[in-house]
Structure 1
């Protein structure tokens, strides 16, 4: 039976395209055995404000931990949660669906998670639940990891029973298609182009912001502005 698999690091409150990728596959493996990278999407994302986009960043403990994995990366304290929620409230309280979405996500932000991977997964799963995305989400450490970038991805896909590996377009720079061909796994590239604009606060439209922007503004109509998610 055909099965599509995607393997991606967890992100903090990812943008809408991340969830379209989840919805487009049968299993989405959170690849948090990878090395944590600073100033990346693992612990931060953008929101829209009257002054333009603004970063929301979860502080993490990185000093002297240059080779730690994402899964081992600890959150630094708890004060950030109050700051993030205050910032979200200030900038989105006028959005039509703020109260409904706030009720779902404020408790997760304030739950006191100690590691960025766990926080990210809980938020990702809450978004999937709201959008009725039924894709299986798993951790990479539920499987055996091989050496080699392409070899590891192809092997993870095979262990998950995948017949097709769906990759983001940026991976074209390093993925070796022959590794997937040898395993008879189809390799396809996800397309993030041509998203429609949706009703949005604060000036000209901006695509590259957190999914919360879409949910606050559109609520149950959010799937109408996505590619693979269906209302």
Structure 2
């Protein structure tokens, strides 16, 4: 079984979903420390031809606070300035010309209408929306539900052992540098490396193409073709190997 591991992100970018789709099991790494200024509570959409940040307000607790413990700031709840519906309306405005906004808006609205208290639960609901919309069937499990100790490479290996994985799909980030390759080899866990090429597609507006946006951008612009555009190269490679 091939597993991949990553912290939960707020409406993540395409590389995140691509990696998930290439694995049998995705471990949501939610029991580690929350990182301020990261993508755990923010993402980028495209508005008026330019990238724009959307950020979920969170309560700033201890610097050692874990992701699973991070609370959403409720200060403006029940007011017109409540972040959740404000974000939803911003998305509707930004993608008002997108071909498939009407198809996905109702499900998206249901997520944003819900009164979430924990960031991890909001991110899980949005990830499930994206996973279903892109037709990704990879199973998910939260690391907080598993028994695995350690830090960095040791923690990753122990998570692999906890779920019985014999292969780990490594992403494009810094984990490629800190993983103890010898320890994984000794444990019988093969290291595979993600090969991801960002797809080009037609976006709203006439501005130059914007990469690195939330996966929502591709979905609202391309609808049913989103899975093919996300995984096209990977599907071609799989067909070639099978032949």
Taking structure 2 as the reference length, the TM-score comes to: 0.89
TM-fit CA distance, 1:9:
0.3
Distance 2:167 2:4 in 1: 9
Gaps of 5+ in 2: 236-243
Which position in structure 2 is the counterpart of 1:72? 69
Instruction: Specify which structure has the higher proportion of helix.
Output: 2
Question: How many angstroms apart in 1 are the aligned matches of 2:98 and 2:209?
Answer: 15
Structure 1's consecutive aligned runs of 4 or more residues displaced over 6 angstroms after TM superposition are none
Q: 2:67 is paired with a residue of what secondary structure? A: coil
SS in structure 1 opposite 2:121? helix
Q: Are 2:135 and 2:227, in contact at CA under 8 Å, matched by a contact in 1? A: no
SS in 1 for 2:3: strand
Is the Cα–Cα contact under 8 Å of residues 195 and 225 in structure 1 kept in the other structure?
A: no
Paired residues, number = 226
Corresponding residue to 2:2 among 1, 4, 18: 4
CA contact (8 A) 1:36 1:67 kept: yes
Corresponding residue to 2:26 among 11, 25, 28 = 28
Checking the alignment, whether the CA contact within 8 Å between 1:195 and 1:227 is kept in structure 2 is no
Q: Which residue of 1 aligns with 2:229?
A: 225
Aligned to 1:195: 198
| Alignment correspondent of 1:99 | 102
Match of 1:61 among 59, 62, 65: 59
1:94 & 1:148 partners in 2: Cα distance?
Answer: 45
Q: For 1:151-190, what aligned pairs fall within 5 Å after superposition?
A: 151-170=154-173, 171-190=175-194
2-structure distance, mates of 1:196, 1:66: 37
